[in-house]
Structures are given as C-alpha cells and as structure tokens.
Structure 1
C-alpha cells in the first residue's frame, strides 16, 4: 500500500507534494520500526522452529516408512508431518513477501511526479531512495533468513537426515 501511495505523490494538485512525501517517509519509518520489533521477538523462536521442523519431519516420515504397520498410525504421522510443513510455509512466504515489498519501494520513488518538484522535494526523495535501498530481510536468530529458500532448506535438511537413517539401517 505504501508503494502505491508513494507512486501517486505529486500527481494530486489538491495536496502539497512535500507533505505527501513526508507522510510516506514517516510511514516507512514506522513500518521499519514495526518490522524490527516483530523480528526481535520471533527471531529465536523461528530459529528453533526451523531446526525442530526438520527433525520432526524426518522422524515422522521414517516412522511411516519403517516403523508403523497400522494404516491409521501411518495416516496420523503423515498428516502430522504435512501439518508441521504447512505451519512453517506461511511464515516463510510472508518473510519473502516483506523482503520483496521493501526491496521494490525505491522503484515507487521513480514513478512519482518528481521531475516537476522543487529542489527540497528532490533532496528528501534522494534520501528516502538511499534509505530504501538498504535491504530488510527478517532473520531467525540472526543467522537464517525467514524466507522461502530457508523453508526448502529445512525440507532438504529433513531429507538428508532421512537418508542418513536409511544408511544406518543397512
């Protein structure tokens, strides 16, 4: 929404373009503060969730394939593994979405009507563009990005552990 709002700056003659720009910059600062606040309290728990998800998926799949013969137990552990995977996916999806949205914000600056504006407006716009170029990626424990790539890496980790279990079984 900020992207769309920012792209409209300077086209509405009823409002002052500098006031519109300052309002967008203020909202961007608030969004970054909210982002940092949320990242602070989910960081460690997400790191733990990535590790636990990999281990639980591996154990569940191994149980379905090697340990359990009862169809209901197999179904239970299959759906348990699917539930764990589906629990992690939306968080990673929205982490990627946040990174993309913040990453594209500087393009909105070039869509606004900056050419016809005064020097003060252009200086503020340049400062905003420079600030928006800094990436904002949510991190888990300061080590892993909360990102779709990390989601698939977690599944690869579970598969790697599963192949180790198969090798140990032989």
Structure 2
C-alpha cells in the first residue's frame, strides 16, 4: 500500500507537470483522465481508512447506549474490556509510517499541486527571459 500511494503521488506530480507541455487536446484529455484515476486510487484507501477510524471512535458511544444496566455481571465485565480497548481508535497505516486517511490524501494532492505551481512559475519565468 505504501508503494501504491507513493507511486500515485509521484504520478500526480508528473501528470500535472506534463500539462505544461504543448500537446494536442486528445493527449491533454487522456492525461487529465489518467490523473483523475490516479487520484481516485489514492482517495479510496484514504476514505476507507478514515471511515474505519470514525467507526472505531463511535464504538464507545454505542456500547454506552446499549441496554447494559439490566444485563448480568459477566456481560458488564465484557463491556468494560471492550470500552478499554475501544479507547484507542483503529488507524490504518502503510509500513507504520503513513496513516490512511483523507488528511493524507489532501496533503498528497496539495503537494502535487504545489510542485505544479512551482514548475509553472519556473517555466513562465524561463519563457519570459528567453523572449
């Protein structure tokens, strides 16, 4: 998963940079379509990781809202263990480095766009200097 996200992030940077090149509209439409698919490839694990984290955080609330008061003592002990474990939300990571979340997706896309704007500024400045 780490390799997939890394390749997807690098691909988005290269795709945005290739839009600076002069090419036909068919080529540009293909590049935009490919970039959208690569962004979707990064988005899906991030969305699902965020959803899992959210659901695991809601587990404590759900346990408290169940009808536990009239239950036997053994059931209450099990619920206590469940609540203690559920205090730590589940966070999916890749290689224990990058968390799979929507925040990660947004930061990857921001980085790709930032590199695109830097390349565009350098390209525009070089074109003005050569003119």
Shorter-chain TM-score bucket reads: 0.7 to 0.9
Q: Given the alignment, which residue of 14, 17, 22 partners 1:59?
A: 14
TM-score (norm 1): 0.67
Instruction: Please report the RMSD computed on the Cα atoms of aligned residues, expressed in angstroms.
Output: 1.5
Task: Show structure 1 runs of 5+ residues with no match.
Answer: 1-45
1:45-104 Cα deviation digits (max 9, x unpaired): x2222222222112212212x213211111111111111111221221111111111111
For residues 84 and 72 of structure 2, the distance between their equivalents in structure 1, rounded to whole angstroms, comes to 19
TM-score (norm 2): 0.85
Q: 1:135 matched to which residue of 2?
A: 89
1:146 and 2:100 correspond: yes
1:78 and 2:32 correspond: yes
For residues 140 and 94 of structure 1, the distance between their equivalents in structure 2, rounded to whole angstroms, comes to 13
Q: Given the alignment, which residue of 31, 50, 62 partners 2:5?
A: 50
Task: Show structure 2 runs of 5+ residues with no match.
Answer: 126-131
For residues 164 and 53 of structure 1, the distance between their equivalents in structure 2, rounded to whole angstroms, comes to 19
